[in-house]
Structure 1
Amino acid sequence: MTKPLADQKRPLQVAMVAGEASGDILAAGLIKEIKRHHPDVHCYGIGGPLMQGEGFDSLFPMDRLSVMGLVEVLGRLKELVGIRRQLGDQLIQNPPDIFIGIDAPDFNLGLEKQLKAAGIPTTHYVSPQVWAWREGRLKKIKRSVDHMLALLPFEASYYQGHDVDVTFVGHPLADKVAFSPDKGKARQSLSIARQGLVVGVLPGSRKAEVARLGELFLTTARMLRKEVPSVRFIVPCANDKRKVQLLQMLENYKDLDITLFDGRASDVMAASDAILIASGTATLEAALHKRPLVVSYRMSALTFAIAKRLVKVEHVALPNLLAGRELVPELLQDEATPENLCKAMQRALFDQAYQKELVHEFEKIHQQLKRNASELAYGAVKSVIESHHATKCA
């Protein structure tokens, strides 16, 4: 077991904020690693069910931070600013040993700036996509963050080139997902037949995502079933609210052979022959499961128009970004039609040469990202705390 950090006269105090399901996964892994070295640590702030399962004390509901889009956030701005102000005041009055912002840069960077100015060391886990758009945030990052924890190799190179302390930790999903996932075992765990074509459908974890993509994906599923009558569909529900939302939609799709699961996203991916999926972190998990996937997304017209002018990269799906080329189709906004999605899904299901190429490329991505991320992240966090203590005692 690691010795207590220098000059630590009380249990280690670690404040964190995660804003959505992917951040909850990352933070839960880090909390578990911190607890392995410091069993009496107190981790608190804003987090989700996985973090709370590791003993995290969430002072506000995480789902209040789960909002996507430049325009969509305006309707929640007053509430978000209020939560950030309350949390910032609490942390400054009772300073933690470190603050770790997990993704959610629009919320966390402002909070990190406030805390760093008050003498609290800060670390940010998951780089904001400054390499893709809004590069002006780099100045804010330098003022707000003592150390960046990067999940992707090109992110670390970017920060090193801009004189920001950074550690490339890899991605915890690459540590978690088996290199050769067992489709049969996954189907058995979900109590579905081992034989037959199965398509995983993942329309996102946020209410707005499911509202924009749910009907689109279900209509695509209906169209695909007309072409492939034997296909069945499986859908993981991110939480109870999303399950209710999807069940309401399914009232109009009773002709589909479709099964909903509470969570179980990883098992759904492993059990699938191909995956129809919303753009986001889940696209990387699908690739790590070595399954062909079709990526889609819709947002408000104004948000999309603004983003299109600002984004500097050619691709949005993480597998494509990591490969530096389009491995999997990205059908966004006006291109996201049932016809286009159905055609792409048929290729994903039946083009064996394409499937073989994808598996080869996905294996390379997996090897690149498998680095024991939570352990490396803990080591970086520990170094920041110790450096801060040494400076205070100098």
Structure 2
Amino acid sequence: MKKIFWIAGEKSGDLHSSIVLKELQLQNKEYQHVGIGGPLMRKFGLKPMFPFDRFAVMGFIEVVKHLFFFVNVEKKIRQLFRENPPDLVVLVDYPGLNMRIAQQASKLGIPVLYFISPQFWAWKFKRIFKLKKLTDHLAYILPFEGKYFDKFGVKSTYVGHPIAQEIEIKINKKEFAEKYNIDSTKQWIGFLPGSRDNELKKLLPQYLAAIKELDNGNFEFLISRANSVSESLFNDIIKKSGISNCKVIHDNNYEMMKHTDILVVTSGTATLETAYIGTPFIIAYKTSKISYELGKRFIKIDRIGLPNIVLDKDIVPELIQNEVNGKSISKNILAILSSETKYNQIKKELQNLHDILGSKKTSEEMVKLIEEMLNE
């Protein structure tokens, strides 16, 4: 049986890769899947080599804190490649580790399929030349990236964006309100504080501060808790804030995105999901001071939110670093909710995302590429 080695080090990568593994099962493609991935990939057959939660780090300081762990991971992967090489390596985003693993695989002649390109167009543009050198094929999910790959001769395929397959609204607004005991006569404001503990520490207190600013009896406040964050940390932050009138949403994120009137979303994949669903929202980004100062020197684009980048327009507000505070968040929320014209304009602009991302089924496109590469 042929073996595929996967690296999906983030929650979003676990989700996007899981639909590919599921499609392989549906098409009765029997391969051995090993490597790095989360609970969704494990559900569809991945045998993990390392604890998934150890990979959820972001920013320079956070990576340094976990340096010994990552050195050990690379050492074990190199050993596996030498002693029992896979037939194909599939690397999913996560460039800090994956670019180095691509180099190891390339040296040993193991085919590399890179699924979800590193965002070289935002920073470290020279990575595009490494991608050309170290990968056999690149499957990208943001349409505008194609012009770069064509220009520099990177063998690549647009496979559609996986969120088109992944987003599923399972219950309507009435059912959602009943499940979480939400007052339907009020406006609903939702907060998504991120899928990593370090994001939670920086952003959730600011979101709770915004709730204090907005708490005039006219709103219901909903806060999402991702499976990948510490439940005790999440609860401790809320307890310390003294806020008791917020609803914690754990299993119905897409429904929360759909049924709320407005959201505050931590920068990342969730911003594109929210935009695809079409609810007006605000993007928030906050990291450590050192990571932020370093990032400012290298990032080459004016926008941080994927929806604004993909649509090439400032559709939704972006709050960055010190702008992420209770007063600023509440002010931006009220500015949108108080203007019907502004609110409807955001909704209208977000609808364009469906046309831009197209109708390709990512899972099917990926299975085609995997089959082609395994049979070369």
* TM bracket (short chain): over 0.9
> Of the candidates 315, 325, 330, which is equivalent to residue 318 of structure 2?
330
> Of the candidates 219, 232, 235, which is equivalent to residue 231 of structure 1?
219
Deviation at 1:53, TM superposition (A): 1.3
Q: Which residue does 1:153 correspond to in 2?
A: 143
Q: Which residue does 2:95 correspond to in 1?
A: 105
Q: How does 1:133-152 map to 2 (within 5 A)?
A: 133-152=123-142
TM-score (norm 2): 0.94
Q: How does 1:1-394 map to 2 (within 5 A)?
A: 10=1, 12-177=2-167, 182-188=172-178, 190=180, 192-226=182-216, 229-239=217-227, 241-369=229-357, 370-387=359-376
Q: Distance in 2 between matches of 1:135 and 1:113?
A: 17
Q: Is the 8 A contact 2:213 2:326 kept in 1?
A: yes
Q: Distance in 1 between matches of 2:292 and 2:247?
A: 32
Deviation at 1:18, TM superposition (A): 0.7
TM-score (norm 1): 0.90
SS of structure 2 residue aligned to 1:302: helix
Deviation at 1:91, TM superposition (A): 3.2
Q: Distance in 1 between matches of 2:362 and 2:64?
A: 34
Q: Mean alpha-carbon deviation: is it higher for 240-249 or for 304-313?
A: 240-249
CA-to-aligned-CA distance 1:12-42 (integer Å, 9 cap, x gap): 3211011111011101011111222234322
Q: Mean alpha-carbon deviation: is it higher for 188-197 or for 316-325?
A: 188-197
Structure 1 residues 306 and 181, CA gap change in structure 2 (3 angstroms) = farther
Q: Mean alpha-carbon deviation: is it higher for 31-40 or for 284-293?
A: 31-40
CA RMSD of aligned residues (A): 2.0
CA-to-aligned-CA distance 1:328-387 (integer Å, 9 cap, x gap): 111101222211111111133332222222222222102322421111122122222222
Structure 1 residues 277 and 43, CA gap change in structure 2 (3 angstroms) = same
Letter in 2 for 1:384: M
Letter in 2 for 1:339: K
Letter in 1 for 2:370: V
Structure 1 residues 359 and 183, CA gap change in structure 2 (3 angstroms) = farther
CA-to-aligned-CA distance 1:64-101 (integer Å, 9 cap, x gap): 11110123211111211211220231133222221111
Q: Is the 8 A contact 1:240 1:262 kept in 2?
A: no
Superposition misfits of 4+ residues, deviation over 6 angstroms: none
Q: Is the 8 A contact 1:30 1:377 kept in 2?
A: yes
Unaligned 5+ residue runs, structure 1?
Answer: 1-9, 388-394
Letter in 1 for 2:300: K
CA-to-aligned-CA distance 1:159-213 (integer Å, 9 cap, x gap): 1111111111121112333699954454455554444211111111111100111
Q: Is the 8 A contact 2:208 2:243 kept in 1?
A: no
SS of structure 2 residue aligned to 1:134: coil
Letter in 1 for 2:254: S
Q: Distance in 2 between matches of 1:179 and 1:214?
A: 25
Unaligned 5+ residue runs, structure 2?
Answer: none
